[in-house]
Amino acid sequence: MSLLKVHNIDTNIDQYHILQGVSFEANQGEVTVLLGRNGAGKTTTLRSIMGLNPVRSGTISFKNKEIQTMATHNIANEGIGYVPEDQRIFSGLTVEENLKVAMKKKDEQTQKRFEYVLVLFPDLKKLLYKKGGYLSGGQKQMLSIARAYVNNCELLLIDEPSKGLAPIIVEKVMESILDMKDKTTVVLVEQNFIMASSIGDKFYILDDGKTVRNGKMRELKEDEALRRQYLGIA
């Protein structure tokens, strides 16, 4: 079942026409990966879904409801969590406080999610009373994903979780996203093809603000020419 449908969106940032026809769908329980060279429009696509860079045309439907004109906080309340590239966590708050601040509801389901993220990220459990500012890049990334997840989201948009992380930490983050797959749907922007191809079910390639190719991830793994053409990798 399609949870998110992005149809032919155009987005301007100031006078610049950045997205010029991006379309993709994310199915429930799958990891959909957005790929493309630097500047292709991947981050802007996630920001457009969240209403941070509002679209000027096209539609974005979440659970069959159009959300493209809604305010960001209302989009989040519909059940979409966003993990931006720059890991927005509160450095003066402890790991526990960072998570509690993100938990809008205090119901049993939210408490269960809180307990689940500590199982998913044992590092965070160990660091529960440490201030966010003392965490390493990888730990901040884990906290950032955990913060989005505890807030009852059905769809998580994650922007380049591997950026700047050591391979061993990338593996941990990757495993945790795989683990979440049966609980939440993920749209992932990822330049690290090893990570993208190991956890992605489907891919969409963006080029110059447009969706140019899409398919099953295993097809892209076998298509070296396509990877070279749009991603610059063999």
Ligand X SMILES: Nc1ncnc2c1ncn2[C@@H]1O[C@H](COP(=O)(O)OP(=O)(O)OP(=O)(O)O)[C@@H](O)[C@H]1O
43/185 with CB nearer ligand X:
43
Phi, psi of 225 (to 5 degrees): -60, -40
31/102 with CB nearer ligand X:
31
As a whole number of angstroms, the distance between CA 94 and CA 37 comes to 36
As a whole number of angstroms, the distance between CA 42 and CA 74 comes to 22
45/98 with CB nearer ligand X:
45
User: CA of 185: how far to CAs of 11, 17, 123, 180, 195, in Å?
Assistant: 24, 29, 23, 8, 17
149/204 with CB nearer ligand X:
204
Q: Which long-range contacts (CB under 8 A, 24 or more apart) does 120-129 make?
A: 120/146, 120/176, 120/179, 120/180, 121/145, 121/146, 121/176, 123/172, 124/95, 124/99, 127/95, 128/94, 128/95, 128/96, 129/94, 129/95, 129/96
- Residues at the site binding ligand X, with contacts judged by CB under 6 A: 13-14, 16, 18, 36, 38-44, 191
Strands 2-13 and 16-27: antiparallel
Q: Which residues pair with 100 in a beta bridge?
A: none
40/220 with CB nearer ligand X:
40
What's the 3-state SS for 94-142?
EHHHHHHHHCCCCCHHHHHHHHHHHHHCHHHHHCCCCEHHHCCHHHHHH
Count CA atoms closer than 13 A to 99's CA, side-chain side: 27
17/104 with CB nearer ligand X:
17
12/110 with CB nearer ligand X:
12
